[in-house]
Amino acid sequence: MTQLQFPAGFLWGSATASFQIEGATTEDGRGESIWDRFCATPGKVMNGDTGDPACDHYHRWRDDIALMKDLGLHAYRFSIAWPRILPRGTGQVNPAGLDFYDRLVDGLLEAGITPFVTLYHWDLPQVLEDAGGWPNRNTASAFAHYADVVARRLGDRVRHWITLNEPWCSSVLSYWIGEHAPGIKNGPAVAAAHHLLLAHGLAVPAIRAASPGAQVGITLNFSPADPASDSEADRAAARRHDGFFNRWFLDPLYRGSYPVDMLEHYAKLNQSPPVQGGDLATIAAPIDFLGVNYYNRAVIRDDPEAGGPGYTFERPEGEYTHMDWEVHPDSLRRLLERLHAEYAPGPLYITENGAAYPDEVAPDGGVHDPDRTRYIERHLAACHAAMMAGVPLKGYFVWSLMDNFEWAWGYTRRFGIVYVDYATQRRIPKDSALFFRRVAAANAL
Ligand code: IFM
């Protein structure tokens, strides 16, 4: 392969999330989150795994920064645990929680690593869930208050803010499919999604006021949809999947409206977004960048018997990761080009991309993960191709810095470029980390 040069200033980073790495779930005044409750509910998380001690990052953050520095990373995307800052969701602020992130940000800056802060990566304070969770409109204003508290404390140093991570997961997966906390099936997911978007819209001006000149964006997870065949029915089903997963969030953010075909579809399921006057303008207020999380595509076959949106997923021949997700880098290229062409969100970042494989420590002490290395390499090539086609992609954050708590899969799925031995908390950079270090240093593939 000829060398693919990335533009000067392209950011090479890694990403994590609070609940997945921090541990210390009851320390220093942290309140309970919906994920603590979900983990404590038998049968919800594989092996009964919990958020403790995860990667014990709450105590080992200095070492983890040193690790990133050693890997030559320019940027680090992490999330703030809302229940550390406001243990009861609103009201009394917990100073120890703010202090933790304050130290983390200073440590990153001292190491020359740019912090990208995600405010919500799914750890809703349990008290807010008890009051109705995301289907309750009040949660959106509580989020704006929380964003204001954090931005006031860190906004002088943090220049990149992400309001929400993957609102599809915190609405549909959490209140309709029930695989994620709070684990509600067939609940008011459309209302949850609307209030998440509203929370984003309300938080943006609060962040801008407290962190003048900072860049504010949102991260969405995308599922590019290909029809299983050329039939009209499969193409319509793929379009439905696109609406359900991608357009449902993109359209209100970038067009100020929900997609009409999906409104009609959801109405048949007795769901509609509880829009109040001014909501859509709040949601669509301009932002500075779009964060793209991409792992795989979906191949869709129409199936009126399937319930819900009326389709099933095909499993084409190909390569699959330990999540049983198809490896399909060209869908990332197409996604980036489509986002740029159809929604013109301005600067884009890959805020997550990566793969789980069942890694083991080899007798020589290393962790040899050629499949992950190849996955990252091929997706970087796809990013490069999209940039050559004019997409303003500004950086790439690999998911994840280190192996961590993979939600309902517990610790059984390893996404890190750094291996974590959970018994000792030893970190071992995998071959993919060494590859990523070379790419970042050369700014080329
Ligand atoms: O681990 C998750 C992350 O929290 C959100 N995006 C997908 C990753 C892999 O499943």
The percent of residues in the chain predicted with pLDDT above 70, rounded, is: 100
Question: 309 falls in which pLDDT band (50, 70, 90)?
Answer: confident
Q: Please write the tens of the pLDDT for every residue from 237-272.
A: 999 999 999 999 999 999 999 999 999 999 988 899
Q: What is the dihedral of CA 221, 185, 46, 76, to 10 degrees?
A: 20
Q: Where are the alpha helices (DSSP H) in 211-286?
A: 232-242, 248-255, 260-268, 279-283
Q: Would you say how long the chain is, in residues? A: 445
pTM value is 0.98
Task: Give the distance (Å) from ligand 1 centre to CA of residue 16.
Answer: 9
Task: Give the distance (Å) from ligand 1 centre to CA of residue 154.
Answer: 25
When mean pLDDT is compared across 99-103, 124-128, 194-198, 308-312, the lowest value belongs to 308-312
Q: Is the Cβ–Cβ distance between 65 and 1 less than 8 Å? A: no
Taking residues 219-237, report their average pLDDT: 98
Ligand 1 atom 10: the closest Cα is on which residue? 406
HSE, CB side, 13 Å, CA atoms: give it for residue 414: 23
> Residue 50: CB within 6 Å of ligand 1?
no
Ligand 1 atom 1: the closest Cα is on which residue? 406
Give the separation between CA 385 and CA 46, rounded to whole angstroms. Answer: 38
- Angle, in degrees to the nearest 10, between helices 138-154 and 95-110: 50
- Among 55, 223, 399, 411, name the best residue to mutate to test ligand 1's pocket (greatest count of ligand atoms within 8 A of Cβ): 399
pLDDT (0 to 100) of residue 305: 92
> Residue 432: CB within 6 Å of ligand 1?
no
Q: Please write the tens of the pLDDT for every residue from 118-171.
A: 999 999 999 999 999 999 999 999 999 999 999 999 999 999 999 999 999 999
Q: How high does pLDDT run on average in the chain?
A: 98
Taking residues 196-206, report their average pLDDT: 99
Residues labelled as active-site residues: 166, 352
> Residue 369: CB within 6 Å of ligand 1?
no
Q: Is the pLDDT of residue 223 over 60?
A: yes
Q: Please write the tens of the pLDDT for every residue from 342-377.
A: 999 999 999 999 999 999 999 999 999 999 999 999
State CA 15 to chain mean position distance.
9
Q: Please write the tens of the pLDDT for every residue from 12-42.
A: 999 999 999 999 999 999 999 999 999 999 9
> Residue 351: CB within 6 Å of ligand 1?
no
Q: Is the pLDDT of residue 2 over 80?
A: no
Taking residues 95-112, report their average pLDDT: 98
pLDDT (0 to 100) of residue 307: 79
Q: Is the pLDDT of residue 1 over 70?
A: no
Q: Where are the domains of the chain?
A: 11-442
Is the alpha carbon torsion for 386, 196, 408, 297 positive or negative?
A: negative
Give the separation between CA 10 and CA 248, rounded to whole angstroms. Answer: 30
Architecture in CATH for domain 11-442: Alpha-Beta Barrel (3.20)
Question: 189 falls in which pLDDT band (50, 70, 90)?
Answer: very high
